[in-house]
Amino acid sequence: MENDVVYDWNQQDAKWSLSTVKVHDETLRDGIQCPSVTDPNIDIKLQVVRRLASLGIHSVNVGLPGAGQRAVDDSEKLVELIRDESLPIRPTCAARTHPRDIQPIIEMTQRTGVPIEIMTFLGSSPIRMLAESWGEDRLLQLTRDAVRLGVQAGLPVSFVTEDTVRSHPDTLRKLFDIAIEEGATGLVLCDTVGHSTPTGVRNLIKFVDEHLREQGVRDRVGLDWHGHSDRGLSLINALVAVEAGCDRIHGTLLGVGERVGNTPLDLLLVNLKLEGHEDHDLTGLGELVDLVSEHVEVPIPVSYPVFGRDAFRTGTGVHAAAVIKAREKGDDWLADRIYSGVPASWFGRQQEIEIGHQSGVSNVKFWLKSRGIEPSDTLIEAIFTAAKSQDRMLSNDEVMRIVQHV
């Protein structure tokens, strides 16, 4: 049916090259570094990981154990959850390129019996090197020692270059070659400060991909993209990274993270689903977004795509009438798409018809019928007149008070 009633310009010369792409969650590590969030208690973190696994998320960063004992304790409990409930999600931990950060991950693996992927990170841009008074030789040695320590412990290691998008290609080549020589199985390309444009994403990934192919290691070294939102480009950059051939994309729920945040993982999943690159059931995604919003104490803006209060809510007469007519045909598929580019039902939401000063009589009739209330002419007129006298939507309570008094 969709091909008959929707002409999709998005599919003309589409560049999407991957049938599937892995999604990696950073909410419980990078996300809680946001200065305005509350770090949820462990019971909430356990719920988050369970729900991520149910949505088909490939991997989750359970923490940075080098940050202190609470980080160690929480990370270990999350790893134990994944082990004990056989959750289909891979645990990872962040670590600076320093033994003090890597050793706790190794010890956690020994205690739990779960091979935890180490994501060891190092600033690689000239501006960072200048600020830190680092020489290139120091970066190369830190990389070699960190990757070697993790690999010798039998753990998968991904090497993360912070601020990759502002790093010199000669430096990146040297760092990547040493990391791979020491056994790293993944490279994480970071837009740490939200600097990159889509063109920059394509250029960087092409450069790294070509270098790995020249070295004959692309088939065994994965490429990740990790973006931030300082210019408001993180979501489109993540989608471009998929087009450019990255194997795994990082994000956080609601985009929480340092400064203005990370790639919003929830909207990434929505777009992957809409483009046919995500085949898991995502009807539980809305509940997970709500859970995280409540417990990290970050309100969802009313206009936030898909999960905001107004995403599928209308009181405009023309829009509401079209949705209502589709429903009256008994066609939920049509009702979910006639005035929405995103099917609400796919993501645990629904179309909502409300009553306001721009509404038509059809809004009032639908509102009443959907609640089992007989839409008499007198009642419709009373509600319609009240709505036209307002400069906003009537709340459900306000409408019900009119119903009770007519």
Backbone region of residue 60 per phi and psi (left: phi > 0; alpha: psi in -120 to 50; beta: other values): beta
Residue 121, SS3 per DSSP: strand
pLDDT band for position 340 (cuts 50, 70, 90): confident
| For range 25-41, the mean pLDDT | 96
Residue 358: pLDDT over 80 = yes
Diameter of the chain measured on Cα atoms: 83
Q: What would the pLDDT profile of 250-268 be if each residue is shown by its tens digit?
A: 999 999 999 999 999 999 9
CB-hemisphere CA count at 13 Å for 42?
12
Identify the pLDDT of residue 314: 83
| For range 34-55, the mean pLDDT | 97
pLDDT band for position 19 (cuts 50, 70, 90): low
**Mean pLDDT across the chain, nearest whole number?**
93
Identify the pLDDT of residue 16: 57
Residue 303: pLDDT over 90 = yes
Whether domain 11-296 has CATH 3.20.20.70: yes
Sign of CA dihedral 221, 54, 101, 194: positive
Residue written as tokens 């992957």?
Answer: 272
**pTM for this entry:** 0.92
Tell me what percent of the residues of the chain surpass a pLDDT of 70: 97
Distance CA 326, CA 155 (A): 54
Residue 300: pLDDT over 80 = yes
Q: What would the pLDDT profile of 128-172 be if each residue is shown by its tens digit?
A: 999 999 999 999 999 999 999 999 999 999 999 999 999 999 999
Q: Which residues of 34-61 are buried (b: 16+ CB within 10 A; e: fewer)?
A: beebebbeeebbbbbbbbbbbbbbbbbb
pLDDT band for position 6 (cuts 50, 70, 90): confident
Q: What would the pLDDT profile of 272-288 be if each residue is shown by its tens digit?
A: 999 888 889 999 999 99
Q: Contact at 8 Å (CB) between 392 and 354?
A: no
Identify the pLDDT of residue 122: 97
pLDDT band for position 2 (cuts 50, 70, 90): low
What are the structural domain ranges in the chain? Answer: 11-296, 313-405
